[in-house]
Amino acid sequence: MSSIQPVILSGGSGTRLWPLSREAYPKQFLALAGEQTMLQATWKRVAPLAAHGPLVIANEAHRFVAAEQLQQVGAEPAAIILEPVGRNTAPAIAVAALEATRDGADALLLVLPSDHVIADEVAFRTAVEQATVAADAGKLVTFGIVPTGPETGYGYIKAAEGEGALPVQRFVEKPDLATATDYVASGQYYWNSGMFLFKASRYLQELEQFNPVMLQGSRQAWQQARRDADFTRLQKDSFSAITGDSIDYAVMEKTADAVVVPLDAGWNDVGSWTALRDVLQQDAQGNAHQGDVIAIDCRNTYAYGEKLVALVGLDDIVVVQTDDAVLVGRADRMQEVKEVVARLKGESRSEASWHRKVYRPWGAYDSIDNGERFQVKRITVKPGGTLSLQMHHHRAEHWIVVSGTAEVTRGDEVILLSENQSTYIPLGVTHRLRNPGKLPLELIEVQSGSYLGEDDIVRFEDTYGRS
């Protein structure tokens, strides 16, 4: 039996869970349904079946957070492949298949989105083991979720009658309620989970047959990729030129070898705030709350509070409060959150993409106050972390150490600062901050000047390849 190579797709933007999930830090990196982030939980779920560390397909902008989160749970990725732009799942899986076969191997690729919840992990692994027989025989397996009721938010798969890996008769788009009700009543339809299992070579063969141009572009981007110790960076021009498409449209709907294995394991794609409510523990009135929340006489509500949120007399309402945004809406209209994000983007507002706290490979910064010609940030630098050697044309900076030790490069001098000590970086002076200690470094940065945007950074040298 062929070995299993997990392929974790981590390129999504998670706009339907705004304001907690944002483009720069989407839902797969959040601990929404447990102590582990969704990316971490995806790996831990499949690790007992895996012969190798995961192949991870990620957005280039998320490379450091993806690598760090996997390291935190002991995963050693076979590769982290970075997409310069999103081109949907078919090209992403193509480059994963090319990577998996580069040394002549032909593993079974277990393709998994990184942002789903599966309550019964034993049932999930049992279904995968069942699917390996069909995949070893050359079939392209998808996992169909046994529906718990008529759902209009999912695509469906119609399967032939029988047991085990069932031949796929057709894929269908998201139906209306009446059609979904008929599908569920028939017993032949399953929700489309977006999870797959097949030999790497079989996927490449089928893609070459049905979309050779996509495969050619994927191969070119992979062959010309720039590889360093941690990342495989796909060649931008070649990958950007690909016309993106999902694996369903590009291959699965066209191949004669598609089969579906039913999966009944408490699956949820956490595609909305109400979907998240459904997977969390609820009280006797159907409320599910996270964070600092007080509710009085409420039913079927979901609330998330980074600060105190109080609800009184509400039914079927969602409230999500972060440091810089508040979402309030009816539970049955939560799919429309993506329209909020679209409007924010249309108005070029940063809240569409960025949280107030921004994560960097060296740590994070939190913009805690700002006004006319000033901005205040709380900066955290990991032990051993180093910011780039940089300068600014329009702002000066004051640094005050709150805890830890700071090594400051300021022009031609290097100084050490400890708790309650400070320094001043004049406009136009090259500078760098490093944490030489074994504990996190925390400091307050006060910026002042005519322009305080993040693009006023000239990098001369950078440990993380950003200069």
Query: What are the domain boundaries of the chain?
Result: 4-268, 282-345, 357-461
> What residues pair up with 143 in beta bridges, in sequence order?
261
pLDDT of residue 462: 85
Low-confidence stretches of the chain (pLDDT < 70) are: 1, 466-467
Q: Phi, psi (5° rounding) for residue 247?
A: -60, -30
Q: Show the CA angle centred on residue 80, arms to residues 79 and 84, nearest 5°.
A: 135
Element (H or E) spanning 134, and its range? helix 121-136
Question: What integer pLDDT is reported at residue 117 of this predicted model?
Answer: 95
**Cβ pair 130, 250 in contact under 8 A:** no
Write phi, then psi, for 78 (nearest 5 degrees).
Answer: -65, -35
Scanning 224-335, the segments in alpha helix (DSSP H) are: 236-240, 247, 273-279
Which class for 404: exposed (0-12), middle (13-18), buried (19 or more C-beta within 10 A)? Answer: buried
Tokens of 83: 């997409």
Q: What is the pLDDT of residue 2?
A: 82
Q: Classify the phi-psi angles of 297: left when phi > 0, otherwise alpha if psi is within -120 to 50, otherwise beta.
A: left
**CA distance to 34, 205, 349, per residue, from 37 (Å):** 7, 35, 27
Six-digit token string for 252: 């699965």
Cα–Cα dist 443/420, whole Å: 9
**What are the residues whose beta carbons fall under 8 Å from the beta carbon of 459, sequence distance 6 or more?**
388, 389, 390, 466, 467
Confirm if 420 and 401 have CB atoms less than 8 A apart.
yes
Please state, in angstroms and as integers, the Cα–Cα distance from residue 158 to each residue in 262, 270, 283, following that order.
Answer: 11, 23, 36
DSSP code at position 231? E
pLDDT at position 465 is 74
Structure tokens at 354: 């960025």
Count other Cβ atoms within 10 Å, centred on residue 103: 6
Contact 119, 279 (CB under 8 A): yes
When the candidates are 3.30.70.1730, 3.50.50.60, 3.40.50.740, 3.90.550.10, the CATH number that belongs to 4-268 is 3.90.550.10
Q: Are residues 196 and 247 in contact, defined by beta-carbon separation less than 8 angstroms? A: yes
pLDDT of residue 1: 66
For the chain, percent helix, then strand, then coil, each to nearest 5?
Answer: 30, 35, 35
pLDDT value of residue 162: 87
Closest by Cα among 149, 271, 131 to 195: 131
Catalogue the long-range contacts made by 241-245 (C-beta closer than 8 Å, 24 or more residues apart): 241/217, 242/87, 242/91, 242/214, 242/217, 242/218, 243/87, 243/213, 243/214, 244/86, 244/87, 244/88, 244/90, 244/91, 245/88, 245/90, 245/91, 245/211, 245/214
CA distance 51 to 39: 19
CATH number listed for the domain at residues 357-461: 2.60.120.10
Burial of 448 (0-12, 13-18, 19+ CB in 10 A): middle
Q: Counting beta carbons within 10 angstroms of the beta carbon of residue 105, is it exposed (0 to 12), middle (13 to 18) or buried (19 or more)?
A: middle
